[in-house]
């Protein structure tokens, strides 16, 4: 590409360090120009050739920066996203896109008015297990889908002290942390549901946040159950898919996050170096009927997990900025997820099913 797009990553906690800087750096056409870290030397140590800034304002006034990535705590997403848009920058904002659907709508309107790209970082669309699930559904391997259970479980039975993620606040909690991933994946597969019924709760002693949820999305012929808990020493399957012709079950989470936390280097997109192929022992199992009139005669096979690749999100953002393609995740997608979270909260509070109109 003739000219690279200068990128600034705001924040160098888990989001900036693991999910943003490495993948921006790995995509041709993007240049990791600056990282905003208010204090400390972690960013400078990790990226010695990148400009380290101490304030957001320094990034917003830099003419060499065209794209700003908001990788800061949830409660800052709306303010920083709006400031970046006001400065004429394209924006990637970590999930959740904002603290409410009203804030997300205001961001969407501002981006539209100024002709800027605004892309929520719903990176889990590029998990290997999700890409494999999409493939199975497209090939109708299990026939007509009747149900999908989608779990994202953790084991943190004791609340962590001193982290913003476990501080009381509407923008925090497990529903705002992992809910966007599960709900976005569900709607990417099936679209908005007809209704939602949710149970959002606090299971751990002394917790200040919601730390477990079960959300059922109702479709005419399908039910999608989005579930997460912080008390799962033995996690449930990542996916359990049932259909009229068979079932698919997949254990374990995508490998990209743990690999990066352990120090893996993301290769340049387009190079011959392979980025994280999953071991066969972790592949999901597909069980299908040879003839549904003889349901005891089943075929079983393990399905190779397609390679997950968060680089593709940033390649899509690059192409959107260049006017070559729509954003890989739209601001409307981010708004829709937040509206579903609000409806899930309403359902949980009332203990009843809520009709959905999106």
Please check whether residue 233 lies inside any domain of the structure: yes
Q: Are residues 230 and 292 in the same domain?
A: yes
Residues of the chain with pLDDT under 50: 1
pLDDT, tens only, 146-188: 999 999 999 999 999 888 899 998 889 999 999 999 999 999 9
CB 313 within 8 A of CB 120: no
CA distances for 72 relative to 75, 92, 93, 214, angstroms: 8, 12, 9, 27
Same domain membership, residue 155 and residue 101: no
Instruction: Answer whether residue 79 is part of any domain.
Output: yes
- Which is it for the CA torsion 348, 125, 356, 193, positive or negative? negative
Report yes or no: 154 and 148 within 8 Å, Cβ to Cβ: no
Q: How many CB atoms lie within 10 A of CB 263?
A: 6
Q: What is the SS3 string spanning 28-40?
A: CCEEEEEEECCCC
Asked if the structure places residue 321 within a domain, the reply is yes
Q: Which residue has the tokens 């002394």?
A: 206
CA dihedral 230, 235, 238, 239 (to 10 degrees): -110
In a domain, 334, yes or no: no
Q: Encode burial over 122-150: b for 16+ CB neighbours within 10 A, e otherwise.
A: bbbbbbbbbbbbeebbeeebbeebebbbb
CA distance 356 to 334: 16
Residue 141 lies in a domain: yes
**DSSP three-state, residue 259:** helix
142 vs 299: CA distance, rounded Å: 12
Phi-psi region of 60 (alpha: psi -120 to 50; beta: other; left: phi over 0): alpha
39 and 162 part of one domain: no
- Looking up residue 226, the CATH number of its domain turns out to be 3.30.360.10
Mind listing the pLDDT tens digit for each residue in 118-150? 999 999 999 999 999 999 999 999 999 999 999
How many Cα atoms sit within 13 Å of 146 on the Cβ side?
Answer: 8
Q: Based on the domain organization, do 263 and 325 belong to the same domain?
A: no
Whether 156 and 184 share a structural domain: yes
Helix intervals (H) in 92-203: 101-114, 128-138, 174-177, 179-190
Rounded Cα distance between 20 and 33, Å, is: 13
Q: Are residues 86 and 163 in the same domain?
A: no
- Number of domains, the chain: 2
* CA atoms of 110 and 141, how far apart (whole Å): 43
Q: Are residue 252 and residue 231 in the same domain, yes or no?
A: yes
pLDDT score at 2 = 53
Do 18 and 134 belong to one domain? no
Do 277 and 191 lie in one domain? The reply is yes
| Same domain (yes/no): 53, 90 | yes
pLDDT of residue 170: 87
Instruction: Say if CB 322 and CB 330 are below 8 A apart.
Output: no
**Are both 47 and 34 inside the same structural domain?**
yes
What is the per-residue DSSP string for 14-67?
HIIIIIIHHHHHTSTTEEEEEEE-SSSSHHHHH-TTSEEES-HHHHHT-TT--E
Q: Domain for residue 110, yes or no?
A: yes
Token output for 31: 């240049």
302: domain range?
125-308+340-355
170 CB-near residues (< 8 Å, 6+ apart): 99, 100, 176
Give the C-alpha distances (Å, rounded to integers) separating 160 from 23, 116, 227.
28, 38, 21
Asked whether residue 335 is domain-assigned, the answer is no
pTM metric for this prediction: 0.95
Q: What are phi and psi of 91, to 5 degrees?
A: -135, 130
The angle subtended at Cα 245 by Cα 239 and Cα 249, nearest 5°, is 20
| Rounded Cα distance, 154 and 145, in Å | 27
Give the per-residue SS3 of 191-218.
CCCCEEEEEEECCCCCCCCCCEEEEEEE
Alpha-carbon distance 127 to 82, whole Å?
29
- Considering the domain architecture, whether residues 164 and 232 belong to the same structural domain is answered as yes
Distance CA 177, CA 334 (A): 13
What CATH code is carried by the domain that includes residue 47? Answer: 3.40.50.720
SS3 (DSSP) at 146: strand
Q: Is the residue at 130 inside a domain?
A: yes
């Amino acid at each position: 590409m003739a000219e690279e797009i200068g990128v600034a990553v705001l924040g160098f906690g888990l989001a900036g360090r693991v999910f943003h800087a490495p993948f921006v750096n790995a995509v041709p056409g993007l240049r990791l120009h600056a990282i905003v870290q208010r204090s400390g030397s972690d960013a400078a140590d990790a990226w010695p050739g990148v400009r380290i800034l101490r304030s957001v304002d320094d990034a917003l006034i830099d003419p060499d920066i065209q794209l700003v990535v908001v990788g800061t705590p949830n409660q800052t997403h709306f303010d920083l996203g709006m400031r970046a848009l006001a400065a004429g920058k394209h924006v990637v904002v970590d999930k959740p896109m904002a603290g409410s659907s009203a804030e997300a709508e205001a961001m969407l309107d501002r981006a539209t008015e100024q002709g800027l790209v605004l892309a929520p970082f719903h990176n889990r669309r590029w998990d290997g297990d999700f890409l494999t699930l999409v493939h199975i559904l497209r090939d109708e391997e299990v026939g007509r889908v009747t149900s999908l259970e989608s779990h994202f479980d953790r084991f943190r039975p004791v609340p962590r002290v001193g982290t913003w993620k476990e501080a009381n606040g509407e923008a925090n909690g497990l529903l705002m942390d992992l809910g966007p991933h599960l709900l976005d994946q569900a709607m990417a597969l099936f679209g908005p549901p007809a209704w939602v019924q949710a149970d959002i709760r606090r299971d751990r002693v002394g917790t200040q946040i919601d730390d477990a949820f079960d959300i059922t999305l109702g479709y005419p012929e399908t039910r999608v159950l989005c579930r997460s808990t912080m008390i799962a020493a033995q996690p449930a399957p990542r996916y359990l898919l049932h259909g009229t012709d068979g079932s698919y079950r997949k254990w374990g989470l995508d490998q990209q996050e743990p690999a990066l936390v352990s120090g893996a280097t993301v290769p340049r997109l387009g190079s011959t170096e392979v980025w994280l192929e999953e071991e066969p022992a972790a592949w999901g199992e597909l069980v299908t009927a040879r003839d549904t009139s003889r349901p005891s005669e089943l075929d079983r096979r393990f399905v190779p997990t397609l390679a997950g690749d968060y680089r593709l999100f940033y390649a899509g953002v690059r192409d959107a900025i260049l006017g070559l393609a729509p954003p890989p995740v739209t601001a409307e997608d981010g708004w829709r997820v937040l509206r579903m979270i609000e409806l899930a909260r309403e359902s949980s509070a009332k203990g009843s099913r809520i009709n959905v109109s999106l």
